[in-house]
Amino acid sequence: MSHIRGRFQKDAAEAVVKYTTSLPFDRRLYRQDTQGSIAHARMLAKQGIISTDDAKVLEEGLKAVTKELDEGRFIFKPELEDIHMAIESRLLELAGPVAGKLHTARSRNDQVALDMRLYTRDAVTETMKGIRDLQLALVEQAEKNTAVLMPGYTHMQLAQPVLLAHHLLAYFEMLQRDYERFGDCFKRADVMPLGSGALAGAAYKLDREFVAKELGFSGISQNSLDAVSDRDFVIEYMAAASICMMHISRLAEELVIWSSSEFGFVEMDDSYATASSIMPQKKNPDVAELGRGKTGRVFGHLAGMLATMKGLPLSYNRDLQEDKEGLFDTVDTLAASLEVFAGMVGTLEFKAQNMRRSLDKGFILATDVADYLVKKGMSFREAHGVTGRLVNYAIGKGKTLESLSAEEYREFSTLFGEDVRGITAETSIASKNVPGGTAPGEVSKQIIRCKKILGQVG
């Protein structure tokens, strides 16, 4: 019978042990757990709550346990319900009865809150590095492809010509917001909850600020009831991860479309594509598809955690144990997706000629023709109508706008001169020279700005 079952006369049923244990997954928190315990032991000694010698024995013991775990030598006993009990029980074996003093002025409720905060802070830091890697791959591709023109789309219909670099940098912007969101999430995780006890605080003269400092936290929690039951930081990580995965999924979707033979805009590197087991000619974008697919489970973890929290009265409830698997899977899925997409984006080969060719379809310069008339004095609404009739005429003749003669143009408006035939995808793109527009000069400025953000230029 486990040593905390003092008032019980029976062991827990076998199915109950299996049902309630978190050991199979919360072992992942072992470093955070021993790190937090060491800080706690030092503080107890500093405050004279335990002796300095006892604190030393505890610290040595906790380090020995950590080493066993690091080296895979630690034996997990299934009857110990979580990583906190497993470590404490091993500490008892290694350090002797003094191990019983470690849990002074502490509950597993504030302990697990601390572990989760330490874990989330580390996860955020790693995630932000992963975002930077994908941003860098995008900027490098943008820089390589500053002269590549492609159709821009709305409603998946050919809309106006843009630079490929401009299109790629749109994803840089999304990821930049993700980066900032995670930075913000860090702030909320960066609060030290130890000292909250089971729910009410602790009946000892603790130095909570000392523990916070030892563990590199910016501050301490201000309400013990909230601190043991708050998992906002987990939800915030999941929310930021969901938005980031949504961005990755959008990119994935474009790459799936672009690599189809109908589009032929991009070729995936062999190392980031898969083969079909039946159709020898195929090169499949499975990697991109999996990024898109895995997005669903990350959204699911967020929805699951919100649902877990919504009915919880103060303060700690065991439901909170359900925060872990979803968070761990979210962290892993996002990290893997960022890494794989950075590699995939870095090795994409864009097909500039195919992109250029699709600019000849779909009357993609129609807006530029309307703009031409506006510059000659016509109102935009009228110009829109004239150009619409022109497009209709061209469709009827089986022609493109570029292949119409100046005379044909003039039948629709006398404002048209010979120079209307000088409108090209290049002039269209060059004309979009507002900040944030697709003109080459503006895109070059953006590349420099992005590289500055990444610390690539001074």
Q: Of the residues 155, 261, 271, 277, which is catalytic?
A: 155
Question: Shortest Cβ distance from residue 81 to ligand ARG (Å)?
Answer: 7
For residue 315, is the peptide bond before it cis, meaning its omega torsion is within 30 degrees of 0? yes
Q: Which helix (H) or strand (E) holds 192?
A: strand 191-192
109 vs 242 by CB, closer to ligand ARG: 109
Question: Shortest Cβ distance from residue 22 to ligand ARG (Å)?
Answer: 4
- Residues that contact ligand ARG, how many (by CB under 6 A): 10
Question: Shortest Cβ distance from residue 324 to ligand ARG (Å)?
Answer: 6
- SS3 call for 67: helix
> Is the CB of residue 416 less than 8 Å from the CB of residue 422?
no
**Position 381 contacts ligand ARG (CB under 6 A):** no
Hey, which residues between 112 and 151 contact ligand ARG (CB under 6 A)? 112
Q: Which residue of 54, 59, 82, 88 would you call a contact of ligand ARG, by CB under 6 A? A: 82
The residue range among 172-180, 248-256, 264-272, 313-321 that interacts with ligand ARG, by the rule CB under 6 A, is 313-321
> Is the CB of residue 289 less than 8 Å from the CB of residue 255?
no
234 vs 365 by CB, closer to ligand ARG: 234
The residue range among 135-143, 317-325, 431-439, 443-451 that interacts with ligand ARG, by the rule CB under 6 A, is 317-325
Neighbours of 173 (CB within 10 A): 15
Alpha-carbon gap, residue 142 to 150, rounded angstroms: 13
Alpha-carbon gap, residue 228 to 317, rounded angstroms: 9
Question: Shortest Cβ distance from residue 91 to ligand ARG (Å)?
Answer: 17
Q: Which residue of 221, 321, 330, 333 would you call a contact of ligand ARG, by CB under 6 A? A: 321
Q: Which residue of 139, 163, 320, 334 would you call a contact of ligand ARG, by CB under 6 A? A: 320
**Position 214 contacts ligand ARG (CB under 6 A):** no
Q: Which helix (H) or strand (E) holds 160?
A: strand 157-163
Q: Where are the alpha helices (DSSP H) in 208-320?
A: 208-214, 224-229, 232-258, 286-310
Q: Which residue of 73, 155, 318, 381 would you call a contact of ligand ARG, by CB under 6 A? A: 318
What are 420's two structure tokens?
């209307």
111 vs 259 by CB, closer to ligand ARG: 111
Q: Is the dihedral of CA 207, 211, 216, 217 positive or negative?
A: negative
End-to-end CA distance of the chain: 63
Q: Which residue of 34, 35, 66, 109 would you call a contact of ligand ARG, by CB under 6 A? A: 109
310 vs 318 by CB, closer to ligand ARG: 318
Neighbours of 290 (CB within 10 A): 15
| Distances 27 to 5, 34, 48, 217, 440 between C-alpha atoms, Å | 22, 11, 31, 23, 53
Hey, which residues between 19 and 58 contact ligand ARG (CB under 6 A)? 22, 26
Active site residue 3: no
What are 378's two structure tokens?
């016509």
**Position 110 contacts ligand ARG (CB under 6 A):** no
Question: Shortest Cβ distance from residue 108 to ligand ARG (Å)?
Answer: 4
Hey, which residues between 426 and 455 contact ligand ARG (CB under 6 A)? none
What is the CB-side half-sphere exposure of residue 408 using CA atoms within 13 A? 16
Question: Shortest Cβ distance from residue 338 to ligand ARG (Å)?
Answer: 27
Q: Of the residues 218, 276, 379, 403, which is catalytic?
A: 276
172 vs 316 by CB, closer to ligand ARG: 316
Active site residue 155: yes
User: 157-163 and 149-154: which strand pairing?
Assistant: antiparallel
Place of tokens 């250029």: 356
> Is the CB of residue 381 less than 8 Å from the CB of residue 341?
no
32 vs 387 by CB, closer to ligand ARG: 32
Contact positions toward ligand ARG, by CB under 6 A?
22, 26, 82, 108-109, 112, 316, 318, 320-321
Which residues does the annotation mark as catalytic?
155, 276
